[in-house]
Amino acid sequence: MVQKTLRERISYGIRFRLQSMFLRCFAIFNYLRSNGNVYDEPSVCAFYQCYKRPKCVITVLDSFRKVYPSGTVHLFCDQGDDMSHIAAHFNCKYEYMTNRSGNGTTLFFLSKERLMSYLDRLLYAAQNSKEDFMMILEDDSLVLGKIRKLKFDWNCIKSNHHYSGGGVTSILRIRNKSIPWYVRNMYFAGWGGVMLNRAFFVEHFSDKEKLSDAIDILSPQIQMQWEGALPMDAIVTALIIYFGGTVGWYPGFAETQYWRYKLRPLFGKIDVVHNAKSFYNSPMSIEEEKIFYGNQ
């Protein structure tokens, strides 16, 4: 791989930040103008693929259950700690996976087979739930309140997470006219707190042959940006847009590093927060140990 010069790195950094600022404005504009399919206080289920960190799993599920006590939760363990007692405590549908799809800490797929395996689990969870939207949970996501309004099929973007080079977005624009001509590199989503239109996903991701063909078309461009890998957020967003879905922002989401979160509630109510890693290395409490080991 050819190393960039200092001037090239500075130039790239400036262009990237300008593009991110533009996409932030576009995301707000796109949210305000998108009123075709509005879900007010949608019902919510959850998909959570965990590995280890039982304290995180307990904390995240506890936050979800306080807000959505009866929502369906699908908990998958990616060959890590046995979370079956936690699943039982929080009334989750649980499966301990025999074939790992990620690397335990991130969802950077290094093969099409691993990506397809992950999408199979996501589809299974969607097919076996009844709620309007499915929330993707991660170890660093917390649910603070009910989602008040959603307008897209894949809700929750960060403007500094976008494709580069123009290739992916050009392919997607041919298939999906929701991307305007002036957006060269579309943003993507897929971290903890993202909201997926369950019915849309079941309708468009159930045909394995069409899904496989779409992955073959999109993968080369995405792998060019991530040195051969297929990050979950980048490829799933691309697939959703490819099949005619919409992607955008929802106001209730925040990251812990955002000023909106730090100065809450001055900038509005926060429903879901991501990047909450303060409990990552904390020991389990006595009560949490009872939940984890099933000694209740």
What is the tens place of the pLDDT at every residue in 34-92? 999 999 999 999 999 999 999 999 999 999 999 999 999 999 998 899 999 999 999 99
What is the tens place of the pLDDT at every residue in 133-165? 999 999 999 999 999 999 999 999 988 999 999
pLDDT at 106 over 70: no
Q: Does some domain include residue 150?
A: yes
pLDDT at 232 over 90: yes
Got the DSSP string for 184-238?
Answer: SS-B---STT-EEEHHHHHHHHS-HHHHHHHHHHHHHHHHHHTTT-EEHHHHHHH
Q: Does some domain include residue 1?
A: no
Helix axes 54-67, 286-293, angle to 10 degrees: 90
What is the tens place of the pLDDT at every residue in 109-131? 989 999 999 999 999 999 999 99
- The domain spanning residue 235 has which CATH number? 3.90.550
The token duo for 231 is 């990050």
Number of domains within the chain: 1
**Interatomic CA distance for residues 100 and 2, integer angstroms:** 32
Residue 67: partners with Cβ closer than 8 Å, 6 or more residues away: 143, 144, 145, 146
pLDDT score, position 151: 97
Q: Does some domain include residue 157?
A: yes
Q: Does some domain include residue 73?
A: yes
Q: Which domain holds residue 106?
A: 6-293
Percent of the chain surpassing pLDDT 70: 97
Q: Does some domain include residue 191?
A: yes
**Interatomic CA distance for residues 197 and 148, integer angstroms:** 15
- Rounded average pLDDT over 185-201: 96
pLDDT score, position 99: 72
pLDDT score, position 119: 97
What backbone torsions phi and psi does residue 111 show, to the nearest 5 degrees?
-155, 155
Q: Does some domain include residue 262?
A: yes
What predicted TM-score, i.e. pTM, was given to this entire model?
Answer: 0.93
Q: Does some domain include residue 39?
A: yes
> Nearest-CA neighbor of 24 among 254, 249, 268, 234?
249
The amino acid sitting at 12 is Y
